[in-house]
Amino acid sequence: MIEKSRGLDADEVFLDLEDAVAVTAKDDARASVAAALRAGGWSAAIVGVRVNDWSTEWTYRDVVDVVSANLDCVVLPKVETPDHVTALDLLLSQLERAHGLDVGRIGIEAQIESPRGLVNANAIAASSPRLESLVFGPADFMASVNMRGLVVGEQPPGYDGGDAFHHALMTILVAARAHDLQAIDGPYLQIRDVDGFRRQARRTAALGYDGKWVLHPDQIAAGNEIFAPSQEDFDHASDILAAYETSTSDVGGRRGAVMLGDEMIDEASRKMALVVVAKGRAAGMQRSS
């Protein structure tokens, strides 16, 4: 799996030491991950490791062993309070110094996946300049609130009151945006059901999430497609920006509210369009001719 991950078309690859590793295999996994990181060679822009959470006996050792020049970020699971992030931040600072790396270069991605983590999401989001994203963990979240369902991310059977995850997803998104972090949706475990993955990914992409974990190479293309804007939306957003720039200029009559087709656009439209264009550019898109 580690070999295969080196060539995948994902924005980020992280190697797991937490829940995908059996308790009896933690030491071996840590050694394999540390060796793989030293070798490097990933095509993904960001390479990370998910360490075990602070309630275990493994976190400090995970972090000490995996920090190397090739590590871009640490995924910290089950973050419940800001001091979980602070503890990792301090440890990383020492390790960066010890390895002669720039202090602060390794980022932190915090998983919010428990009631306590969710009620503290805002304080967690403000806890360290190393933080890059808040990540929703649907599996642990479902377990920790006693949600009646065994299919991760799917609506619990018997609940017909809307989206059972809306509150958690929106709380994380708002906390992330309030502190300029990315909001990332967690895994979809039915790895053979790419349509199911697409359904889940579309929901969080529509809310404003920046991306979603993938557990299997088959989910990558779907994730990349869904979290980039459609060509139609990208073109429309580009047109809004162009039209608004013209209308607000001297030659355009310095008008802050104008019609573009059947739609009135103003400064808020420009801000919405900027988001779409930025996401499209990040995905390598260009205005179609």
Chain residues that interact with Mg ion, rule: CB under 5 A: 113, 137, 140
Helix boundaries (H) for the chain? 2-5, 26-39, 59-66, 82-98, 115-119, 121-125, 138-144, 166-178, 194-207, 218-227, 231-248, 267-282
Our finding on whether 211 is near ligand GLV (CB under 6 A) is no
Alpha-carbon span 13 to 42, nearest angstrom: 8
Our finding on whether 137 is near ligand GLV (CB under 6 A) is yes
- Choose the one of ligand GLV, Mg ion, none that binds residue 280, judging by a C-beta under 5 to 8 angstroms depending on kind: none
| Closest distance to ligand GLV from the beta carbon of 14 (Å) | 11
| Closest distance to Mg ion from the beta carbon of 142 (Å) | 10
Helix (H, G, I), strand (E, B) or coil at 178: helix
- Nearest to ligand GLV of 89, 109 (CB atom): 109
Our finding on whether 140 is near ligand GLV (CB under 6 A) is yes
- Nearest to ligand GLV of 95, 134 (CB atom): 134
- Choose the one of Mg ion, ligand GLV, none that binds residue 187, judging by a C-beta under 5 to 8 angstroms depending on kind: ligand GLV
Q: Which of 107, 117, 186, 211 binds ligand GLV (CB under 6 A)?
A: 186
Alpha-carbon span 273 to 185, nearest angstrom: 23
Our finding on whether 12 is near ligand GLV (CB under 6 A) is no
CA 140 to chain centre: 16
Stretch that binds ligand GLV, among 38-46, 132-140, 223-231, 257-265 (CB under 6 A): 132-140
**Residue 76, φ and ψ in degrees, nearest 5:** -105, 115
Alpha-carbon span 254 to 101, nearest angstrom: 50
CA 8 to chain centre: 17
- Nearest to Mg ion of 112, 276 (CB atom): 112
Note the residues at the interface with ligand GLV (CB under 6 A).
77, 111, 113, 137-140, 186-187
